[in-house]
Amino acid sequence: MGLKEKLHGIKEDFKGKKMAPAFNALHTFLYTPDETTHSGGHVRAVDDLKRTMNTVIMALIPVLIWGIFNTGYQHYSAVDAAQGVIREASLFGNFFTWDNFIMGAWTVLPLVIISYAVGLGVEFIFAVIKGHEVEEGYLVTGMLVPLIVPVDIPLWMLAVAVIFGVVIGKEVFGGTGMNILNPALTIRAFLFFAYPTWMSGDKVWVHGAKAAEGGADAISGETILGAYAQNSSVVYDFSDKFFGFIPGSIGETSTFLIILGGLFLMFTKIASWRIILSAIVGAAVMGLIFNGVVDQGWIGEGNTFYGLMSTPFWEHLVIGGIAFGIVYMATDPVSGSQTNTGKYWYGFLIGFFSIMIRVFNPAFPEGVFLAILLMNVFAPTIDHYVVQANVKKRMKRLKLKTA
């Protein structure tokens, strides 16, 4: 008797029992079920939710791997810098090294494991209690969460945040497909407001910086946005920023890999190109407005906003988490706009507000996650007006006929 038949037997045993969803969730990972069509059409396309989610995860893997190496790299280069040694980034010279990998994996993988274990645990419990199948929504959220937090966040904090995010952000609304806010961002927002000292400042972005704070061998780990917000000079050149040899949240640093992931998602039709494109346009427009303001001389060099306002608009797209947010989180179909016309507005406003919040809130310079959460709330409103246009057209037609 093969594995397939054995598992089928267990599935039959579980049928109708409380734990059935839990077993089925594991079973369907190994085998797509033997379910056949019962109503309507007799054939179905091959895409299911697992495949959809899996595609997003595939697009996230390169970013995760880069994040692991970069965590190690940033740590060692910060340690060097504290001793006065300045490093020149080189991909195979000092980036893809065994030391970096071990250091990075040792810090990042626990975050991934905690995120998945806690989040899926909550999902399983809810599925068993409510008697429905375990939905795949958390597969992507679970991967996003470790990528958008600072490296040194304590694991218990992450666990608390994940429970909050999944229960309050998703399950209370009815589970996957019903939530209003992006669960991954709900988790980050919770961390951001509950434990602000762990989420911002110049000590959280490099592994070991927080622990070494105040000691003799203190190391710095300021992000570029932080440096701009302080109006201080930035030590990284463009290729560092673009390819990602910079400190930051684990997944956000390499704009290059994020662009590749975004192209893959758009090509596979999993992510909406409408949202991505219009978000980039929106961010560029806001950036250009600020650049124009600076060019006009309305904002002097001494102004608090000068640093970020004078940043060229295209550079805004490369630094910070905006690229990551646009590609992987603004495109969440559940919390985003659901109509094609609405998606243009939704994306544009995310880009627009991201840069605005980034510039005007120098204490917390990362605006993209607040912008996405804000637009999550307004997405149904956007859709409402888009759909109403269709409804009005129908009413007008009726009036013409009856008049």
Partner 1 sequence: MSKDIKIKRGLDIKLVGEAEHIISDAPRSRTYVIKPSDFHLVTPKMLFKEGATIKAGEPLFYAKKDPSIKFVSPVSGILREIKRGAKRVIVSIVIEADGRDTTVEFPMLDVNTADAATIKERILESGLWPFIKQRPYDVIASTKTEPSAIYISGHNSAPLAPDYNFILQGKEAALQAGFTALSKLTSGRIHLGVAQVANSVFSKLSNVEMHTVVGPHPSGNVGTLINKVSPINKGETVWTITPENLAIIGELFITGKFNSERIISVSGSRVKAPKYYRTKIGAEVSTFAYSAGIEGDNVRMISGNILTGNQVSAEGHLGYYHNEFVAIPEGNDYEFFGWNKPVFNKISSSRALTFSWLFPNKKYDLDTNTNGEHRAFVVTGNYEEVFPLDIYPLQLLKACMVQDLDAMEALGMYEVAPEDFALTEFVCVSKQPHQAIIRKGLDLMHEEIG
Polymer length of the chain: 403
Nearest residue (CB) to partner 1, 133 versus 295: 133
Segment interacting with partner 1 (CB under 8 A) among 204-212, 262-270, 283-291, 298-306: 262-270
Residue 83 interacting with partner 1 (CB under 8 A): no
Residue 182 interacting with partner 1 (CB under 8 A): no
Nearest residue (CB) to partner 1, 25 versus 349: 25
Which segments of 268-367 does DSSP mark as H helices, in order?
273-295, 306-309, 313-318, 322-324, 340-360
Nearest residue (CB) to partner 1, 161 versus 265: 265
Residue from 35, 88, 217, 301 touching partner 1 (CB under 8 A): that is 35
Instruction: Tell me how far apart the alpha carbons of residues 87 and 50 are, in angstroms, rounded to a whole number.
Output: 43
Residue 91 interacting with partner 1 (CB under 8 A): no
Residue 13 interacting with partner 1 (CB under 8 A): no
Instruction: Tell me how far apart the alpha carbons of residues 31 and 43 are, in angstroms, rounded to a whole number.
Output: 19
Question: 249, exposed or middle or buried, with CB in 10 Å at 0-12, 13-18, 19+?
Answer: buried
Site for partner 1 in 366-395 (CB under 8 A): 383, 387, 390-391, 393-395
Nearest residue (CB) to partner 1, 37 versus 296: 37
Residue 19 Cβ vs partner 1, minimum distance, rounded to whole Å: 17
**Residue in the block written with tokens 């999550």:** 376
Angle at 357 between CA 61 and CA 314, to 5 degrees: 60
Nearest Cα to Cα of residue 114 among 148, 159, 78: 159
List of residues 6+ apart from 377 with CB closer than 8 A: 180, 181
Segment interacting with partner 1 (CB under 8 A) among 40-48, 237-245, 295-303, 321-329: 40-48
What element of type H or E holds 101?
A: helix 98-130
Cβ atoms of 95 and 117 within 8 Å: the answer is no
Q: How many CB atoms lie within 10 A of CB 184?
A: 30
Question: Under rule CB under 8 A, how many of the chain's residues touch partner 1?
Answer: 64
Residue 48 Cβ vs partner 1, minimum distance, rounded to whole Å: 2
Residue from 9, 10, 13, 31 touching partner 1 (CB under 8 A): that is 31
Which segments of 131-173 does DSSP mark as H helices, in order?
137-147, 155-169
Site for partner 1 in 46-65 (CB under 8 A): 46-52, 54-55
Residue 165 in tokens: 């995010």
Residue 84 interacting with partner 1 (CB under 8 A): no
Angle at 186 between CA 345 and CA 264, to 5 degrees: 55
Segment interacting with partner 1 (CB under 8 A) among 98-106, 107-115, 261-269, 361-369: 261-269
> Per-residue x/- mask for partner 1, residues 119 to 158, rule CB under 8 A?
--------------x-xxx---------------------
Residue 228 in tokens: 């701009």
> Per-residue x/- mask for partner 1, residues 336 to 355, rule CB under 8 A?
x-xxx--x------------
Residue 151 Cβ vs partner 1, minimum distance, rounded to whole Å: 29
Q: How far is CA 224 from CA 3, 248, 283, in A?
A: 52, 8, 18
List of residues 6+ apart from 382 with CB closer than 8 A: 337, 339, 342, 345, 346
Residue 175 interacting with partner 1 (CB under 8 A): yes
Residue from 9, 93, 110, 177 touching partner 1 (CB under 8 A): that is 177
Residue 297 interacting with partner 1 (CB under 8 A): no
Nearest Cα to Cα of residue 204 among 158, 250, 240, 160: 250
Segment interacting with partner 1 (CB under 8 A) among 176-184, 197-205, 206-214, 347-355: 176-184
Residue 30 interacting with partner 1 (CB under 8 A): yes
Instruction: Tell me how far apart the alpha carbons of residues 273 and 329 are, in angstroms, rounded to a whole number.
Output: 13
Residue from 12, 16, 37, 83 touching partner 1 (CB under 8 A): that is 37
| Gyration radius of the chain's alpha carbons | 23
The residues binding partner 1 (CB under 8 A) are: 4, 7-8, 24, 28-52, 54-55, 133, 135-137, 174-178, 267-270, 272, 274, 333-334, 336, 338-340, 343, 383, 387, 390-391, 393-395, 397-398, 401-402
